[in-house]
Structure 1
Amino acid sequence: MPGHLARRFQQMAVTMFLVEVSEAGFDLTPVQYAALATVQTNPGIDQITLAGLITYDRTTITRVVDRLVQLGLLLRRASTRDRRARELAVTEEGQRTLREITPAVEAAQRMLVRGLTETETAELIRLLRKAIMVSDDLSRAYCSAYQDTQ
């Protein structure tokens, strides 16, 4: 079943990420890394925008940002555009972490597809993107309906 295979592939991706990153001397989760890298690419974004970019709910992203701020990797400051919003920026320590952790993250990604050719890897990525694009709105609707029942 595709759902089972997707879950299994995700388990492997997380495990390989954690092992490689840990061996490189870092203690970041895949979500924390994604948030840090996304803020680096989009300096000054707010938490809601960050949540949308990496497709996480607001509650989870708040905990992720709190942890990255606690680790000294992100700064959270009042927005210059909206007093209610908080802008995010990567600290110098966060930039250093991203530079040093990138080889481990790339190694984990290579391990994940090590049995595939470059062509097969590209095809896998293309098909995953296609499946996600055509089902993303539906998954968000199911997620909202599930949260409403809790």
Structure 2
Amino acid sequence: MSDHSKLPGHLIRRMHQFSTKVFLTRVREAGYDLTPVQFAALEALRREGDLDQARLADAIAKDRATTGAVVDRLAQKRLIGRSADPNDRRSRIVSLTPEGETVIAAMTPVVEALQKEVLSGLDATEYRTFIALASKVIAASVSRNDT
């Protein structure tokens, strides 16, 4: 039997825990109250522009129910606005508010800086290799799920 602490799933879970802890700590130190998923939603809206909630869910790789809850929280914080889709009354369009644009602009350097802390045990070459390998695994999992 193998040592479970060396299994990829276990290591990924532990890395996710550490990454989330670092993110929350650094973001709070910078004076913000956002989760990694909330940041991802704001960043996706900054990058893509206005999106309906289904497309936002796809952009942040979350299910629609989770995305709906994230959108609710961000709307309560007045970082996003919601409006009816003129082409589909059942759909809601989500967009950044001016305050949301300010927050994402201020948080982006904080989040970019903490990435090296998340992988602090790696040198520059190992860091790039990790990113390449993790990206490869994700691309393969996405293509498997599309079929």
TM over 0.5: yes
Pick one of 109, 119, 132 that aligns with 1:126.
Answer: 132
Query: Which residue does the alignment assign to 1:93?
Result: 99
Partner Cα separation in structure 2 for residue 89 and residue 129 of structure 1: 28
Partner Cα separation in structure 1 for residue 146 and residue 66 of structure 2: 15
Query: Which residue does the alignment assign to 1:41?
Result: 47
Say whether residues 1:110 and 2:116 are aligned partners: yes
Runs of 4+ in structure 1 off by over 6 angstroms are none
User: Could you report, residue by residue, the CA deviation over 1:63-104 in whole angstroms, capped at 9, with x for unpaired residues?
Assistant: 000000110000111113322211111011001101111222
Query: Which residue does the alignment assign to 2:9?
Result: 3
> 5+ unaligned residues in a row in structure 1: which ranges?
142-150
Partner Cα separation in structure 2 for residue 56 and residue 20 of structure 1: 23
Q: Is the 8 A contact 2:50 2:96 kept in 1?
A: no
Partner Cα separation in structure 1 for residue 146 and residue 70 of structure 2: 20
Q: Alpha-carbon deviation of 1:117?
A: 1.9
Q: How many residues matched?
A: 141
3-state SS of 2:120 partner: coil
Partner Cα separation in structure 1 for residue 26 and residue 56 of structure 2: 25
Query: Which residue does the alignment assign to 1:30?
Result: 36
Query: Which residue does the alignment assign to 1:147?
Result: none
Query: Which residue does the alignment assign to 1:76?
Result: 82
> 5+ unaligned residues in a row in structure 2: which ranges?
1-6
Q: Is the 8 A contact 2:27 2:107 kept in 1?
A: yes
Q: Alpha-carbon deviation of 1:28?
A: 0.2
Partner Cα separation in structure 1 for residue 127 and residue 10 of structure 2: 20
Partner Cα separation in structure 1 for residue 22 and residue 91 of structure 2: 35
Q: Alpha-carbon deviation of 1:114?
A: 2.0
Partner Cα separation in structure 2 for residue 139 and residue 86 of structure 1: 26
Q: Alpha-carbon deviation of 1:54?
A: 1.0
Q: Is the 8 A contact 1:77 1:88 kept in 2?
A: yes
Query: Which residue does the alignment assign to 2:3?
Result: none
Percent identity of equivalent pairs: 43
User: Could you report, residue by residue, the CA deviation over 1:94-120 in whole angstroms, capped at 9, with x for unpaired residues?
Assistant: 011011112221222110122212221
Partner Cα separation in structure 1 for residue 28 and residue 135 of structure 2: 28
Partner Cα separation in structure 1 for residue 38 and residue 110 of structure 2: 15
The answer to which of 126-135 and 11-20 deviates more is 126-135
Partner Cα separation in structure 2 for residue 27 and residue 140 of structure 1: 34
